[in-house]
Amino acid sequence: MTGGRAAPTGALLAGVLGGVLALGGCGGGGLGKSGPTLSPEDFAAPSGAQPATQHTAAARDESSGEPARPGEPDPGPTPVASDAPSRTPPAARGTSRGPRLISTPGEPVRSTTNADAVEAPVLVNAKVGDINGRPIYADEFLEPMADRLRAEAAQKSPSEWRTSARMNIRRQLELLLSDELMRAEAIASLTPEQKQGLRAFLQGFRDVKVRESRGSSALAERRALEDTGKSLDQTLKEEEEVTLIRLTFAQEINKRVNVSWRDIVLRYEQDDEKYRPPPTARFRLIRVRTDDAQAVALIGASLEGGDAFESVASRPENTWHSDDGGLHEAVYEGEYTEAEFFGADALNEKARTLHAGEWTGPFELGTSTCWLKLDGIERQEIDLYEAQLGIYEELLAERRSSEWRRYINRLVDRARVTDLDAIQDRLVEIAAQRYGPKG
């Protein structure tokens, strides 16, 4: 300071910097040893000197031996006049500080190494569409049917396999669509009390799983993975979806379906052939060549002697289904006395005269001698009392299915669903790559 006034800031900084550089440039001497003295004027460029080229990055200052700060220009060697004082401290003269690093702009060097892939690309996973905002991934969708697709690939031609895979994938897509839409609709229609009850139910379900695993959540998780291949959280999510779908089914479908007693009676009458089918006549026929007199006599003697007709009809002499004891079954309609049981009128005439357990013969039929017996007439009629429960369940399933389709169609009309045909085509192609027949 001079005259009581503060020195300018620039002078103070120059003085401090000069002192630091003076200490750092001493040739290993300690305090009190003499060395070169630097002043602020030593840092000024001499008159007529050319400005130094600026270099950035980690270059070292040749005058001080200190590394340049990142982002600050590197002054580099400054040309000076021959009579200018040296700005390099004595201890630093003749000492190499390493190579200077200089960045030179230009075009990057292009690699000549072949960058082609060493293997063909493999599809790891793919999103194939959305159903009501829920993404559908190929892995998640195809994994449950992977074993079946692989097995069919070993048994069917490529075209047959693709047709079967397309049908299976379409069926699963439609089920996924209906489940997702019904789940979303159920969530949207739940009251606060129902939501609280659902949470309590799911928490109770989780508690049961943990309790079955001796109170260990980790063990419950491991058991879920071993039993179903899914985590406990995934199992809970599935249980939630099933519960919501059942709730929607009960609220939106079951309440619209009704089966009355009149509906049951009408269905019983419409399915008359199912519940009152035509009767079946069971005959046994023995046919022996007439020119084989010995065989004719043997068969006649056996029947007259009281041998069972079925046993005699099983002998090799019989040329009419001896392996089955000469059995012939014929379904007929109308009156028994007017029905046709065989293709030959002569046999039909003989058959119409028989009652259950009776036989007739011998009689001539072309070049054969025959014996015919009526074992019995079977009637499998089911009365309305026995059929009513089956009819009720049948009608209930039909009407639920019909109502379900109408309900799902209404949901699809207002939902955000990717084109199912496009999803199906994409999944079939991915399945063909992974599981389809090769070659």
Residue 261 predicted with pLDDT over 90: yes
Per-residue pLDDT band for 118 (boundaries 50, 70, 90) equals low
Ranges 54-58, 300-304, 330-334: which has the least confidence? 54-58
Residue with tokens 């030593």: 42
Residue 157 predicted with pLDDT over 50: yes
Residues 6+ apart with CB under 8 A from 289: 295, 319, 367, 368, 369
Strands (E), 124-189: 127-131, 134-137
Ranges 272-276, 351-355, 425-429: which has the least confidence? 272-276
Per-residue pLDDT band for 372 (boundaries 50, 70, 90) equals very high
Per-residue pLDDT band for 122 (boundaries 50, 70, 90) equals low
Question: Model confidence over 413-436: pLDDT tens digits?
Answer: 777 776 888 889 999 999 999 898
229-247 mean pLDDT: 79
For 35-42, the CB contacts below 8 A with 24+ separation are 35/89, 35/90, 36/89, 36/90, 38/87, 40/11, 40/14, 40/15, 42/18, 42/85, 42/87
Q: Give the model's pLDDT for residue 10.
A: 40
**H-run or E-run covering 340:** none
165-177 mean pLDDT: 90
**H-run or E-run covering 331:** strand 327-331
Per-residue pLDDT band for 48 (boundaries 50, 70, 90) equals low
Residue 142 predicted with pLDDT over 50: yes
**H-run or E-run covering 53:** none
Which among 63, 59, 160 is positioned nearest to 100, based on CA atoms? 59
| Three-state secondary structure call for residue 396 | helix
Which among 319, 321, 315 is positioned nearest to 283, based on CA atoms? 321
Share of the chain above pLDDT 70, in %: 72
Ranges 110-124, 269-283, 328-342, 344-358: which has the least confidence? 110-124
Residue 281 predicted with pLDDT over 60: yes
Residue 245 predicted with pLDDT over 80: no
Residues in the chain: 439
Q: Give the model's pLDDT for residue 212.
A: 86
**264: phi then psi, degrees, rounded to nearest 5:** -65, -45
| Three-state secondary structure call for residue 326 | coil
Per-residue pLDDT band for 246 (boundaries 50, 70, 90) equals confident
Ranges 30-44, 170-184, 227-241: which has the least confidence? 30-44
Residue 25 predicted with pLDDT over 80: no
Ranges 341-350, 401-410, 414-423: which has the least confidence? 414-423
Residue 11 predicted with pLDDT over 50: no
33-51 mean pLDDT: 53
114-120 mean pLDDT: 58
Per-residue pLDDT band for 73 (boundaries 50, 70, 90) equals very low
Which among 256, 136, 242, 129 is positioned nearest to 179, based on CA atoms? 242
Judge whether 183 and 244 are in contact, CB under 8 Å: yes
**H-run or E-run covering 251:** none
Q: Which residue has the higher pLDDT, 104 or 92?
A: 104
pTM, 2 dp = 0.47
| Three-state secondary structure call for residue 207 | helix
**H-run or E-run covering 387:** helix 384-414
Give, in order, the Cα–Cα distances in Å from 293 to each of 216, 289, 311: 88, 8, 20
Residue 43 predicted with pLDDT over 60: no
Ranges 57-61, 108-112, 327-331, 385-389: which has the least confidence? 57-61
Cβ burial of 427 (10 Å; 0-12, 13-18, 19+) is buried
Q: Give the model's pLDDT for residue 101.
A: 63
Judge whether 423 and 153 are in contact, CB under 8 Å: no
Residue 98 predicted with pLDDT over 80: no
Tabulate helix, strand, coil % of the chain (nearest 5). 50, 10, 40
Q: Give the model's pLDDT for residue 115.
A: 59
| Three-state secondary structure call for residue 2 | strand
Going 197 to 203 to 204 to 209, the CA torsion angle's sign is: positive
Per-residue pLDDT band for 398 (boundaries 50, 70, 90) equals very high
Residue 110 predicted with pLDDT over 90: no
Tell me 30's DSSP state. -
Judge whether 330 and 284 are in contact, CB under 8 Å: no
Tell me 324's DSSP state. G
First CA to last CA across the chain, in angstroms?
A: 96
Q: Which residue has the higher pLDDT, 19 or 172?
A: 172
